[in-house]
Amino acid sequence: MEEVRKESEQLLKSLPRETRSDGIPMVLYKGCWYPSVFLLGVIAAERHFQAQDSDIILASLPKSGTTWLKALIYSIVNRQRYPPNLSPLLTTHPHDLIRFLEFEHCCLTDNLDQLPKPRIFSTHSHYSSLPHSTIKHPGCRIVYVCRNPLDSLVSYWHFLRAYRKELQGDMDVTFNKYCRGCHGFGPFWDSVLGYWKASLENPEKVLFIKYEDLKEDIVSQSKRLANFLGVPFTMEEEQQGLIQEIAELCSLQNLKGLQVNQIGVRLDPGLENLINLQVNQVGVRVGLVYQLMHISGKVRLEITSITFPYHDSRFGETNGAKICRLWLSLQLLLCCIQHPLNKLLSVV
């Protein structure tokens, strides 16, 4: 491990640098902007992690449903061992049940083989930056959860404001950095497209799932997850309502109310458990002024205390809300100068 540490220190001197909108230093390694404090864990995982037959990797960008999916996947694959009323989630934070490869691999190197199977890990790394063995090992499955970039951005901003308080920049700063890809584990489109292409090329190994689909129909998406992970629900389990029980246990409202998730700190000093369990909605209440950087110039859109009513009995969203979300998301897309539309269309 000392060799990896020295390699990390040498790399830090040569890699491109940026700062996150809250001032945290980041480095660009293999096309991904990592908070520099995580580079050692990333390299350690690359060098030492060995995938096994039943391994499950949950991949995502921050504020895309990571905590929710951790709880859901853990409950689905361990439902024979732990029924919902006896779940470790009742007494243990989801991040303690499913560890981040790049965050904590250095601390777990000697113990990974002793973890109960199936081993479940999570990562914010891009597909191209995953440990080689996770991609090559045929029995290792990868689940990637994607979220609408506008919702993800707004949730990300509120998260950093809660976590970093006075150090977090305003929305203009955060938005501009996000559009340039200079955010934790960005650029957004590199992350999304890497896993999406992999899911098309190898659908039995990589599952691409959308946060919005989970919100709309948690039962069918839970069944989809279970089928992909090789532990499909039986007809008896469905009739007994087990899927609904798991969905209720893993809902962010329920997890947020548990005592274990209301106390303590995680990952970094000052990062409270509760911050990780913000209740993320499909659609956001906006009281902000967005500085939208257009390729051909600047457009300023003022949205003052408007609630987008996204839920409709037939469609899940009102037409007006759909138009707002689509327009804003397209503007965000156009802002990504490093990722013009022809690059995105080339993989469709």
Looking at the predicted structure, is the pLDDT value of residue 302 above 50? no
Looking at the predicted structure, is the pLDDT value of residue 54 above 90? yes
Domains and CATH numbers, the chain: 2-278 (3.40.50.300)
Average pLDDT on 249-254 reads 88
Dihedral, CA of residue 142, residue 148, residue 150 and residue 154, to nearest 10: -60
Q: Quick one: 303 exposed, middle or buried, by C-beta within 10 A (0-12, 13-18, 19+)?
A: middle
Average pLDDT on 27-35 reads 95
Looking at the predicted structure, is the pLDDT value of residue 41 above 70? yes
Looking at the predicted structure, is the pLDDT value of residue 257 above 70? yes
Average pLDDT on 76-89 reads 95
Q: How confident is the model at residue 304, as a pLDDT?
A: 31
pLDDT per residue over 86-126, tens digit each? Answer: 999 999 989 889 989 887 655 455 578 888 899 999 999 99
Number of H helices, E strands in the chain: 16, 12
Q: How confident is the model at residue 326, as a pLDDT?
A: 52
The rounded distance, in Å, linking the Cα atoms of 150 and 190 is: 16
pLDDT per residue over 229-244, tens digit each? Answer: 999 999 999 999 999 9
Average pLDDT on 314-325 reads 43
By annotation, the residues acting in catalysis are 124
Contact 32, 186 (CB under 8 A): yes
Looking at the predicted structure, is the pLDDT value of residue 162 above 50? yes
Peptide bond into 131 cis (omega under 30): no
Look at 278 and 177; give whichever has higher pLDDT: 177
Q: How confident is the model at residue 332, as a pLDDT?
A: 54
Question: What average pLDDT does the structure give for the chain?
Answer: 78
Look at 316 and 189; give whichever has higher pLDDT: 189
Q: pLDDT grade, residue 46 (50/70/90)?
A: confident
Average pLDDT on 61-74 reads 94
Q: How confident is the model at residue 342, as a pLDDT?
A: 42
Look at 308 and 33; give whichever has higher pLDDT: 33
Q: How confident is the model at residue 4, as a pLDDT?
A: 78
The rounded distance, in Å, linking the Cα atoms of 8 and 50 is: 20
Look at 40 and 204; give whichever has higher pLDDT: 204
Q: pLDDT grade, residue 314 (50/70/90)?
A: very low
Percent of the chain with pLDDT over 70: 71
Looking at the predicted structure, is the pLDDT value of residue 249 above 80? yes
Least Cα distance to 151 among 326, 339, 335, 346 occurs for: 326
Looking at the predicted structure, is the pLDDT value of residue 207 above 90? yes
**Lowest mean pLDDT across 78-92, 101-115, 245-259:** 101-115
Q: How confident is the model at residue 193, as a pLDDT?
A: 92
Looking at the predicted structure, is the pLDDT value of residue 44 above 50? yes
The rounded distance, in Å, linking the Cα atoms of 197 and 182 is: 22
Q: 243-261 in b/e burial notation, b at 16+ Cβ within 10 A?
A: bebbbebbbbebbbebebb
End-to-end CA distance of the chain: 42
